[in-house]
Amino acid sequence: MPRTLKVAAAQMGPIHLTSKRPETLSRMLALLRTASKLGAQLVLFPETAFTTFFPRHLINSQEELDSYFEHEDNVPESANTKPLFDEAKTLGIDISIGFAERTADGKGYNTSIYFSAKKGEVIAKYRKVHLPGTKEPFANPDAVNQLEKRYFEPGNLGFKAFRTPDLIPGAAKKESGIKEHGKGDPIMGMMICNDRRWAEGWRCYGLQGVEIVLCGYNTAGFAPDLWGTRKPMIPEEAEKDAVFHHKLVMQGNSYMNSCFSISAAKAGLEDAKYDLIGGSCITSPEGHVLAEAKTKDDEVVFAEIDLEDCRQGKEKTFDFDRHRRVDQYGPITIQTGVVEPELL
Amino acid sequence: MPRTLKVAAAQMGPIHLTSKRPETLSRMLALLRTASKLGAQLVLFPETAFTTFFPRHLINSQEELDSYFEHEDNVPESANTKPLFDEAKTLGIDISIGFAERTADGKGYNTSIYFSAKKGEVIAKYRKVHLPGTKEPFANPDAVNQLEKRYFEPGNLGFKAFRTPDLIPGAAKKESGIKEHGKGDPIMGMMICNDRRWAEGWRCYGLQGVEIVLCGYNTAGFAPDLWGTRKPMIPEEAEKDAVFHHKLVMQGNSYMNSCFSISAAKAGLEDAKYDLIGGSCITSPEGHVLAEAKTKDDEVVFAEIDLEDCRQGKEKTFDFDRHRRVDQYGPITIQTGVVEPELL
């Protein structure tokens, strides 16, 4: 029996330090309505979707910094975010979206949530585990900073997959007693930007039978190389390579975990000079790109998918129970950094 | 300082149940000489390179079965294999090659070894961890069996990276006291066929600073679907997809572990009717295919690579020490199969 679902990535063009929140919100509402007209049941928005990607800036004023964050208890209720969730509820569309989260005890996280339209509430939260960049800004003024390690703590909620209710008619419920794979509500997992390059997160989701991985991102197309580790590249080539890497990891990890993926970029030239890649896409459990963004601006990427397509991989080539050999994987969870074989 | 290396995959066309060992050996010698003319310092041969891919057959005679194996102590000394290693030594080319291995206590392994021409001996051995297929043959006579789980034990040597001596002039030695990455002899790791689809093996090697992953394979282009889990495919499409998946995992995992990879197929129509894909290739730490086979027959795939290209990934995006979060990866080494979130 097919388990079809209509899903979308809401790619967003640039949002600037100077952008007004209501303007950004109305762009989001327009994207949501466009997706609704296509019949979308689920729409993914980017990482830190409500603001510019502020970790590229060194922000010393706590007040300014806080203006890019939402309080952990205030989403979806804050004035900055409520209209989006209200519209999602009205349209009957589930949404997943990223934002900078400030906890009651003052900690920052790069967070993503899943809002169920039917339930009218947030049913899952994820905090980015793989924070890229540095804590301290570069001394070189030409360098492009990436200060996520300064503003955020590494995520502490693990990679916890969850079921999303009422998207597929007739999906089995707990009381039905049905336990077989593929009979219940869709199983999803969230990750954020850089997480997608780390096979560990994907595998943690794969081990929970994930059917769709959701990943919002802000990815630089080009930054001058101040590390001295890279052969010189012209910006156009660097951006092409960045899109290639994005798609490669979405495709490869979808295939190796037999799941669909949806990825949504914030794209284009933010804050006048920082170029972000587009490339928002939807990939299949066989690793193919089913749909992808054509622009670097606000754009809905849409596909109708059948979760049954996960079965081939999950039950045969990637039947974990039959094929995984955890006794051989020890170093993955006990060794953080590299230990090279000794010099001969 | 560049650390260049000339490497090759020796793709082999079909070898049949009826093929004579000396014929197969002379094809290997021809491939080795072709690679030598190109200047290759290292040549990778396929999985079970000396024989047909016999696990597709149900073989009840122990004597016949044993004829496809080499005794663990006999490689490279056995008459079946010696001429290849002698020639490698003469030409001064390191080789890595796969064969079915029988241990003194009668166990079978799907094995790969690394032979150093300079040392004139085998310096590393790997036994395939991820055995695909089933222990019992299919009841349906139209099914294509894959009986690796019947004939082999899962590999018990882990994913142990090793340095390969005397390939790069001036590489630092133990007594030099130099410890920094990229100064010593190349760091390599072996995997076999299906292993390449499992990110865990790649990461175990990545955690040892691997610079080149070697992977021989025998991969079916098309087998009738008797699992009922797959949408019907025509053979040409299935084969195209199998090559796509092969390249996707070589590219994706090379990128995510900042290493080169070399893969060598046994390709073409074996034993009259079993089609194997080609697609032998060399990939870069940025995930690009640098060279790939054009045929499904005996063919040398060659590239000159610079191990310095691993640094960008290893020291920045994939600096494991700074970015990996082992506290969040727990399930990977303690949970073999899937545990789905409960039905809502």
Q: Which residues contact B183 (CB under 8 A, 6 or more apart)?
A: B171, B172
Which residue in B129, B324, B342 is closest to A174 by CB distance? B342
Please indicate if any CB of chain A lies within 8 Å of the CB of B328: yes
* Catalytic residue flag (residue A193): yes
DSSP string, B100-135: EEE-TTS-EEEEEEEEETTTTEEEEEEE-S---S-S
Which residue in A312, A317, A326 is closest to B333 by CB distance? A326
Structure tokens at B187: 């760091």
Please report residues of B whose CB lies closer than 8 A to that of A334.
326, 333
Q: What are phi and psi of A258, to 5 degrees?
A: 50, 50
Q: What are phi and psi of B113, to 5 degrees?
A: -125, 160
Q: Do A178 and B206 touch (CB under 8 A)?
A: no
Q: Do B333 and A333 touch (CB under 8 A)?
A: yes
CA distance A325 to B153: 12
Q: Do A163 and B341 touch (CB under 8 A)?
A: yes
DSSP state for residue B3 in the 8-state scheme? -
Catalytic residue among A125, A148, A193, A314: A193
- Which residue type is seen at B111? T
Q: Do B249 and A248 touch (CB under 8 A)?
A: no
| pLDDT of A1 | 78
Output the CA torsion sign for A228, A231, A236, A241.
negative
Q: What are phi and psi of A161, to 5 degrees?
A: -75, 160
Please report residues of B whose CB lies closer than 8 A to that of A245.
255, 286-287
CA distance A125 to A97: 10
DSSP state for residue A183 in the 8-state scheme? S
Find the Cα–Cα–Cα–Cα dihedral A52, A272, A138, A65, rounded to 10°: -30
Structure tokens at B137: 């043959």
Overall average pLDDT of the B289-308 stretch: 98
Please indicate if any CB of chain A lies within 8 Å of the CB of B326: yes
Q: Please, what is the Cα angle at A183 between A182 and A185, to 5 degrees?
A: 90
Q: Do A337 and B331 touch (CB under 8 A)?
A: no
The structure tokens 């690394």 sit at B114
Q: Which residues contact B199 (CB under 8 A, 6 or more apart)?
A: A199, A200, A202, A203, A253, A256, B253, B256
Q: pLDDT, tens digit, for every residue of B219-256?
A: 999 766 555 555 667 888 899 999 999 999 999 999 99
Structure tokens at B171: 């590489």
Q: Any idea where the domains of chain A sit in the sequence?
A: 4-334
| pLDDT of A49 | 98
Alpha-helix runs per DSSP H in A207-259: 235-256
Catalytic site positions of B: 47, 128, 193
Overall average pLDDT of the A51-62 stretch: 96
Q: Which residue of B has its CA nearest to A174?
A: B343
CA distance B274 to A28: 53
DSSP state for residue A226 in the 8-state scheme? -
CB B148, CB B193: distance < 8 Å: no
Overall average pLDDT of the B37-43 stretch: 98
How far does B246 lie from chain A, in Å, by closest CA?
A: 10
How far does B176 lie from chain A, in Å, by closest CA?
A: 9
Q: Do A245 and B286 touch (CB under 8 A)?
A: yes
CA distance B108 to B101: 6
Structure tokens at A193: 């930007």
Candidates B180, B312, B324, partner chain A, best to mutate (most A CBs within 10 A): B324
Q: Do B315 and A185 touch (CB under 8 A)?
A: no
Q: pLDDT, tens digit, for every residue of A114-157?
A: 999 999 999 999 999 999 999 999 888 878 899 999 999 999 99
User: Residue B201: which of B214, B219, B183 has the closest Cα?
Assistant: B214
How many angstroms separate the Cα of B80 from the Cα of each of B28, B86, B88, B324?
A: 12, 12, 15, 45
Overall average pLDDT of the B116-126 stretch: 97
| pLDDT of B304 | 98
Q: Do A341 and B162 touch (CB under 8 A)?
A: yes
Please count the CA atoms within 13 angstroms of the CA of B290 that sit on its side-chain side. Answer: 23
By mean pLDDT, which of A6-10, B7-11, B223-227, B230-234 is the weakest?
A: B223-227
DSSP state for residue B148 in the 8-state scheme? H
Please indicate if any CB of chain A lies within 8 Å of the CB of B329: yes
Candidates A256, A320, A334, partner chain B, best to mutate (most B CBs within 10 A): A256
Candidates B306, B322, B340, partner chain A, best to mutate (most A CBs within 10 A): B340
Average per-residue pLDDT for chain A? 94
User: Which percentage of chain B shows pLDDT scores above 70?
Assistant: 95
CA distance A48 to A44: 12
Q: pLDDT, tens digit, for every residue of A240-277?
A: 999 999 999 999 999 999 999 999 999 999 998 899 99
CA distance A243 to A238: 9
Interface of B with A in 211-270 (CB under 8 A): 227, 229-231, 241, 244-245, 248-249, 251-253, 255-256
User: What is A4-334's CATH topology?
Assistant: Nitrilase/N-carbamoyl-D-aminoacid amidohydrolase (3.60.110)
| pLDDT of B139 | 87
- Which residue type is seen at A213? V
Q: pLDDT, tens digit, for every residue of B20-37?
A: 999 999 999 999 999 999
Q: pLDDT, tens digit, for every residue of B48-102?
A: 999 999 999 999 999 999 999 999 988 999 999 999 999 999 999 999 999 999 9
Overall average pLDDT of the A78-82 stretch: 93
Q: How do strand B42-44 and strand B94-102 relate by DSSP bridges? A: parallel
If pLDDT is split at 50, 70 and 90, which confidence band does B136 have? very high
| pLDDT of A177 | 67
Provide the ipTM: 0.96
Output the CA torsion sign for A160, A166, A169, A173.
positive
Please indicate if any CB of chain A lies within 8 Å of the CB of B66: no
Q: Which residue of B has its CA nearest to A244?
A: B287
Please indicate if any CB of chain A lies within 8 Å of the CB of B338: yes
Overall average pLDDT of the A199-211 stretch: 98
Upstream peptide bond of B76 is cis (omega within 30 degrees of 0)? yes
Please count the CA atoms within 13 angstroms of the CA of B231 that sit on its side-chain side. Answer: 11
Upstream peptide bond of A14 is cis (omega within 30 degrees of 0)? no
CA distance B88 to A139: 52
User: Residue A122: which of A139, A104, A99 has the closest Cα?
Assistant: A99
Average per-residue pLDDT for chain B? 94
| pLDDT of A265 | 98
Cross-strand partners of B10: B300
Residue A288 or A183, more confident: A288
In this model, does residue A292 exceed pLDDT 90?
yes
Q: Do B343 and A159 touch (CB under 8 A)?
A: no
Q: Do B317 and A132 touch (CB under 8 A)?
A: yes
Q: pLDDT, tens digit, for every residue of A304-323?
A: 999 999 999 999 999 999 99
If pLDDT is split at 50, 70 and 90, which confidence band does A175 have? confident
- The three-state secondary structure class of B95 is strand
> In this structure, which CATH number among 3.40.50.620, 3.40.109.10, 3.60.110.10, 3.40.605.10 belongs to the domain B4-325?
3.60.110.10
Which residue in A165, A332, A343 is closest to B204 by CB distance? A332
Residue B326 or B179, more confident: B326
Overall residue count recorded for chain B in this entry: 344
How many angstroms separate the Cα of A111 from the Cα of each of A78, A82, A114, A122, B323?
A: 16, 17, 10, 13, 17
Q: Do A316 and B227 touch (CB under 8 A)?
A: yes
DSSP state for residue B297 in the 8-state scheme? S
CA distance A4 to B40: 51
CB A47, CB A14: distance < 8 Å: no
CA distance B242 to A290: 18
Strand residue runs (E) in A248-328 = 260-265, 268-270, 274-276, 281-283, 289-292, 299-306
CA distance A205 to A203: 5
Interface of A with B in 177-196 (CB under 8 A): 178-179, 181, 184-185, 187, 194
If pLDDT is split at 50, 70 and 90, which confidence band does A178 have? low
CA distance B121 to B128: 21
Which residue in A229, A321, A344 is closest to B336 by CB distance? A321
CB B201, CB B158: distance < 8 Å: no
CA distance B255 to A245: 8
CB A185, CB A167: distance < 8 Å: yes
Catalytic residue among A125, A128, A296, A314: A128
